[in-house]
Structure 1
Amino acid sequence: MVCGVLAVVLFGALAPAVAAAPRASEPVYDYTKAIRETVWVDIGRDGDGDGQSDRVAADIVRPSEPAAAGTKVPVIMDASPYYSCCGRGNESELKTYDSAGKPVKFPLFYDNYFVPRGYAAVLVDLAGTNRSAGCADVGGASDVGSARKVVDWLNGRATGYSAKTGGSAVSAGWSTGNVGMIGKSYDGTIANGVAATGVAGLKTIVPISAISSWYDYYRSDGATFGFDPAGLAQTVEANNSGQNCSAQNQDLATGATANGDYGPLWAARDYVAQARNVHASVLVSHGVNDLNVKTINFGQWWDALAANHVERKIWLAQTGHVDPFDYRRSDWVDLLHRWFDHYLLGVDNGVQNGPMASVERQPDQWADQSAYPAANAIATALRPQAGGKLGTAAASGTASFTDNPNVGEDTWVTNPGSAALTYSTGTLTSDLQVSGTSSLTVTATPSTSSARLSALLVDLGPATIRNFAGSGEGIKTGTTENCWGSSTTGDDACYRITSADPKKVNYTILSRGWADLANYASLSQERVLTPGTAYTMTFRLASTDHVVPKGHALALIIGGTDGSFIRGPARPGRVTLDLAKTSASVPLAGVLPAASTHPSLGGGAFVPSAGRADLH
């Protein structure tokens, strides 16, 4: 039991011969009396070249009662570049301040809910954004160092000040040093990056729709999506006129080469390569239809964490780029409460046990799994065969398509013509689960000196899914609110209620992948292709967990430039596949049919929007 005025019961009392269930932290502190302050933490860099070490603003709200008694509290941190430019959450909340510069509005519900329960909420402006000095570097040393140094300060290893320049030193004597980082998109990405440094004191992270490798946000196995990090840096720096970031932005523009090569800029922003340093537990959430932060980002991160034996759990929704607070609100808040209680307060509530994964099968219908990928999923070689069949038997012969960058994935599914090749398992006699990360190996002969490759895994059959291509990316936002914690004037805990936005479809694209054949030998250096020469390349398809129902079929579609997402080659041409040397490795649980009868798509095809270039 916790001593002093911290009236948060961590363990139930022992009844005769029976232990009562452990209890959660409770809202016993007065949120209206909470301490609100800003500390500027020195990050030891001079990103804006003004000759002074950059300080980042950490806005803090913490309960006053433990502070008065000298009792320390743990920290929930969200480090973001979006607190003044773009907003956080479904309602795009921004930070606000009073006339003296004291923080008033803390976006999202973390402060409202957790501060009364004995936590501090710390919202950090990344370098170069909002009230912080320095420059954003889009996932690099400045971004990650902004948050890591605040973790250090909370543990007495860095210096904080009472002002952006000058001021007096401020300590975090009120902090236990236990920190949990949380955030969606860019914010969750920074949590991944800080965890990959192995910083002491970071006990857990909750990355929501987060990037694990910035290369895989802007590029895909040599292919390019058509947007670059310098533009994002300028967006988040726009409301902070106190620095000159032209040099940093030029470094971003130069480092992100126009081709899809993996170079030093991307290597410095590859957290998967540093996952061996992760000691914090990880609670992942991602939409399997997220066309902004593509799902390969959670899949490769998850696999790397598994190799490092990190304690972890995962939620996979049918949404696009959406926070679970807006698709499964009550359950998510309950899970976060238990998660933070366990890893930051030490409550023995068993949240780390039980099912590892929770997956949305249909809108608002969830299934728990003991593991992700599914425990019985086996990497299976699926081979395209003559006659449009897809199976495990050896194939022979060739097949060709003509690259047409003006069409994209939905045309490929409904009316591919000569632009793509379709291969199908035929009608399934039982459910078939695709769970994990797939890849495609091709031996391809281009007719020109440049070529793109794209591939889709498709569930052919009718279904009701979340409308992830709609404006809400799978959710509808109502007009009524519910409240999650305590409120003050200027910082309420109430948010508009959301619901699923369903849509009937005749097929579902469950995984995508793209590549530049010029990177067949190396992602680090593309090569000019010789027309008429065969090249072998393996590239990844997006991570997922999807059940193809009995009566549907699983299809593999292979083409050139998927115009919905990637840029086409300089000289589009004809590409010929050697079917004997072309196969997809797909993690499957279930039995493939022996025969090949193909279900008809019918009308009402679902046309998603192109991949989004905004990270919020």
Structure 2
Amino acid sequence: MPIRARRTRLLWRTLLTAALAALLATLMSPVAAQSAAGAPRAPGEAPRRAGESRPVYSYENAIRESVWVDTGIDGDANGRTDRVAVDIVRPRELDRTGHRIPVIMDASPYYACCGRGNEGQKKTYDENGDPVRFPLYYDNYFVPRGYGYVAVDLTGTNRSDGCVDIGGRSDVQSAKAVVDWLNGRARGYTNRTGEKRARATWTNGRTGMIGKSYDGTIANAVAATGVKGLKTIVPIGAISSWYDYYFAKGAPLYGSGPDGLARAVESPEAGARCAAAHQRLIDGAPRSGDWTRLWDERDHVPDADNVRASVFAVHGMQDLNVRTKHFGQWWDALAENGVDRKVWLSQAGHVDPFDFRRAHWVRTLHRWFDHELLGRDNGVDREPMADIERTPDHWTTDRVWPPRGTDTATLRPAKGAAPGVGTLGPRPGRGTETFTDDPGLSETDWAERIHVSTPAKAGFVSRPLSRDLRLSGSSKVTVTAIPTARTAHLSAVLVDLGPATIRDYADVAEGITTLPARTCWGASTTGDSSCFKETRAKTADVDYTIFSRGWADLGNWADARHGRPLTPGRPHTITLDLAASDHVVPEGHRLALIVAGTDKGLIERPADTPTLTLDLARTFAELPLVGGAKAFTTAASATPRAPRLDGVAPPRPLNPLPGGSTS
């Protein structure tokens, strides 16, 4: 559905805001106005448009302060409710006039342990404990334009009380309590332990949350509470259900459990007092992959009907840290509940759009916040809903996403002329294919040998396509398999067979190269620069592209939330959820489905080393194709000259993810 225009009740606020802005611009001191407004535009920044917020307020002289907000939760059981540290920077000129302003907020566990952004920036403070550097550019860019910026330390991190909760109630309440405080519904204090109250009289309460990874996950979670005052969220590479970060339908994904991530981000003080909280995470997240009450609390998808905020989501389609399953299921739930939304999908991995499309991103984000928080009618809500990166730095748009005409097509694997190399098409398959789990092989090993029979995978390939075929959305693969052992893990991947130049998502930087030159995005101070290293796309020439994948423990065949031992020699049927994607298989390429066991570096191996026999009559893929089944039938009906599949290097094998970190 299109992004709906905001409600007409914002009109009077828009008019009032414009009038006040004009008045304040005339009241500002000429020196301050000249120094702020006279800053040159950054390279690639579009000319300023009429009606957009402008950098007319001094960043150097902005108010910088810290407040501790009471969460109402005693997470470390010390007899006192936890307070979270809230670092604030806001225009001093507007404080003097009493004009109330909106807030952009990033709530994070990473401000002290790991840093934010491509350059790993951390918060810094002066000798009085007042904030000096706010990581990233949000403060530098938006404070001079009349916004307040708020950086929240989640419980148990940096200067906050309590214990890290990895997406649980305490984590979410860390940020929700701040939204409540900004709207006059929670208590804030001028220090961590004192009783002097701090009130947010400077803000109108209209809040937009933004953040990548864990930070964006908190934005999703707070929006799912339906808290009043949260007007928009911008989740970048964000989790929608924490179970799906650590497991895939019972199959453990690489990386430690939530307790490991908690220890990585918590402050030293929290580490000394939070042993009980760590144990709760361990007990509630068994590596069996069974769904527990802990995961219910951390699954935000069922609460999408509570979301009042608009959502501007960004995700890398090759993000193998926070996989696009998180985006896909969240997006679908938001659509079902009529939430205003917009999306960017890149070819990169776990990368911020500031580092793969910088100028366009800052310009778009500026217009989004102006519209959502200032009420400016700038047309951003009437623009295409989706931006999709097709090849490195080449983007297309869609009025709605998935595009109209997208429908589920059922494709079925069938035996081919050679064992282990089958066909993929609309007709039901017959017979069986057999493979033996080899935990030493990955999806790239399977894909680069798709055209030959190998014992560790079953591959099924379409005819060369006579026209482009576009997949847009989330796929499913249903597998009926007969195991030889009591445990077995399954992987299913979709592959585009044909030469292409892609972002090198398997590289350590996940599709970007960082350059020495810097560009500046906003105003700077001695302690907080707005200048960041430029990047460019890091590309790879490949002869196949894996564009969607999914995994499962076959032991979860009868119950997606609870596994059980398999019965060797008997068939078991399970459906694997494949990550959302938007991919065009070009004319002349072929579409392939691979079914195998352990995907090295992405899921853990089962206890046994099973051989699995696929019943092809009861194995099939459900793919969201633009044009539906007819599009596939048409594209596969002719036989163009197939491209060569040799002579081009495949992507490097992926390494295991480091310690479950989502930074």
| TM-score of Structure 1 vs Structure 2, range by shorter chain | over 0.9
Distance 2:269 2:66 in 1: 17
For the pair 1:421 / 2:421, whether they are aligned, the reply is no
- Opposite residue 182 of structure 1, the aligned amino acid is I
Q: Any idea what SS the aligned residue of 2:216 has?
A: helix
Aligned residues of 1:426 and 1:599 also touching (Cα < 8 A): no
Counterpart Cα distance in 2 of 1:198 and 1:375: 29
CA distance in 2, matches of 1:248, 1:534: 41
Which whole-Å CA distance do the structure 2 matches of 1:473 and 1:405 have between them? 24
Question: Which one of 246, 270, 275 corresponds to residue 299 of structure 2?
Answer: 270
Question: 1:498 & 1:420 partners in 2: Cα distance?
Answer: 38
Matches within 5 A, 1:87-236: 87-226=115-254, 227-236=256-265
Give, in whole Å, the separation in 1 of the partners of 2:94 and 2:650. 58
Pair 1:582 & 2:582 matched: no
**CA-CA distance at 1:569 after TM superposition:** 1.4
> SS in structure 2 opposite 1:290?
coil
Equivalent residue letter for 1:580: A
Residue 438 of structure 1 corresponds to 475
Could you report, residue by residue, the CA deviation over 1:213-270 in whole angstroms, capped at 9, with x for unpaired residues? Answer: 1111100011001321000001111444586111111100111111111211111100
Deviation of 1:611 (Å) = 4.6
TM-score normalized by the length of structure 2:
0.89
Q: CA deviation at 1:571?
A: 1.4
Distance (whole Å) between structure 2 residues aligned to residue 392 and residue 82 of structure 1: 48
> 8 Å contact 2:139–2:149 — kept in the other structure?
yes
Query: How far is 1:128 from its partner?
Result: 0.4
* Selected match of 2:636 from 590, 593, 610: 593
TM alignment of 1:24-35, pairs within 5 A: 24-35=52-63
Query: Do structure 1's residue 37 and structure 2's residue 65 form an aligned pair?
Result: yes
CA-CA distance at 1:598 after TM superposition: 6.5
How far residue 601 of structure 1 moved from its aligned partner, in angstroms, is 2.3
Q: Conserved in 2, the CA contact under 8 Å of 1:409 and 1:564?
A: no
Paired residue type of 1:324: P
Instruction: Name the amino acid aligned to 2:577.
Output: R
How far apart in 2 are the matches of 1:27 and 1:200? 28
- Residue 431 (structure 2) pairs with residue 397 (structure 1): yes
Question: Structure 1, residues 526-545: CA drift from partner, whole Å, max 9, x if none?
Answer: 11111111111112011100
Identical-residue share of aligned pairs (%): 55
Partner of 1:609: 654
- SS of the aligned residue for 1:371 comes to coil
For the 8 Å contact 1:553–1:599, the answer to whether it is kept is: no
Q: CA deviation at 1:91?
A: 0.6
Residue among 512, 519, 535 paired with 1:482: 519
Asked if 1:74 is matched to 2:96, the reply is no
* 1:346 partner SS: coil
Q: Distance in 2 between matches of 1:353 and 1:4?
A: 26
Pick aligned residue for 1:361 from 386, 390, 393: 390
Deviation at 1:356, TM superposition (A): 0.8
Instruction: Give the gaps of 5 or more residues in structure 2.
Output: 1-14, 26-48, 417-421
How far apart are 1:376 and its partner, in Å? Answer: 2.3
The equivalent residue for 1:472 is 509
- Is 2:324 aligned against 1:295? yes
Letter in 2 for 1:340: F
* Kept after mapping to 2: 8 A contact 1:383/1:394: yes
Provide Cα deviations, 1:5-58, integer angstroms capped at 9, x if missing partner: 67589xxxxxxxxxxx85101111111111000000000111112111100000
C-alpha distance in structure 2 between counterparts of 1:174 and 1:238, whole Å: 30
1:407 correspondence with 2:441: yes
Q: 1:551 and 1:56, CA in 2 relative to 1: closer, same or farther beyond 3 A?
A: same
Q: Which residue of 2 aligns with 1:371?
A: 400
Kindly tell me: are residues 23 and 243 of structure 1, through their superposed partners in 2, closer, same or farther at Cα, counting changes over 3 Å?
A: farther
Separation in structure 1 between the aligned mates of residue 382 and residue 298 of structure 2, nearest angstrom: 32
SS in 2 for 1:541: strand
In structure 2, distance between residues paired with 1:311 and 1:7: 32
8 Å CA contact 1:468–1:608 kept in 2: the answer is no
Aligned residue pairs total 605
Displacement, 1:578?
Answer: 1.0
| Distance in 2, Cα, partners of 1:392 & 1:55 | 58
For 2:237, the aligned partner's letter is S
- Do structure 1's residue 331 and structure 2's residue 360 form an aligned pair? yes
Counterpart of 2:568 in structure 1: which amino acid? P
CA distance in 1, matches of 2:100, 2:52: 18
Q: Please point out which of 285, 294, 299 is paired with 1:256.
A: 285
Partner of 2:532: 495
Q: Secondary structure at the match of 1:437?
A: strand
Deviation at 1:212, TM superposition (A): 0.5
Contact 1:76–1:180 under 8 Å retained in 2 = yes
Indicate the RMSD between aligned Cα atoms, in angstroms: 1.5
Q: Say whether the 8 Å CA contact 1:290–1:319 is kept in structure 2.
A: yes
| Cα-to-partner distance string for 1:496-526 (whole Å, 9 max, x where unaligned) | 1111111101100000110001001112221
Q: Whole-Å Cα distance in 2 between the matches of residues 502 and 494 of structure 1?
A: 25
Structure 2 contact 63–91 (Cα < 8 Å) conserved: yes
Helix, strand or coil for the counterpart of 1:249?
helix
Aligned-partner residue type, residue 291 of structure 1: L
Q: Which amino acid aligns with 1:601?
A: L
Amino acid in structure 2 at the alignment position of 1:615: T
Structure 1 residue 167 displacement after superposition = 3.4
Q: Is the 8 A contact 1:130 1:240 kept in 2?
A: no
Q: Is the 8 A contact 2:253 2:602 kept in 1?
A: yes
CA contact (8 A) 2:461 2:592 kept: yes
Distance in 2 separating the partners of 1:242 and 1:250? 12
Q: Letter of the aligned partner of 1:602 in structure 2?
A: D
2: CA distance, partners of 1:575 / 1:595: 34
Q: In proportion to residue count, which structure has more helix? A: 2
Equivalent of residue 83 in structure 2, options 35, 55, 59: 55
Deviation at 1:199, TM superposition (A): 0.3
Paired with 1:327 and 1:611, the residues of 2 have a C-alpha distance of: 23
| Structure 1 residue ranges without an equivalent (≥5) | 10-20
Give me the TM-score of the superposition, normalised by structure 1: 0.96
**Superposed, which structure 2 residues align to 1:235-250 within 5 Å?**
235-241=264-270, 244-250=273-279
CA offset digits 1:156-196 (Å, max 9, x no partner):
00000011012301110111010000000000000000000
| Residues 448 and 544 in structure 2, CA contact (< 8 A), matched pair in contact too | no
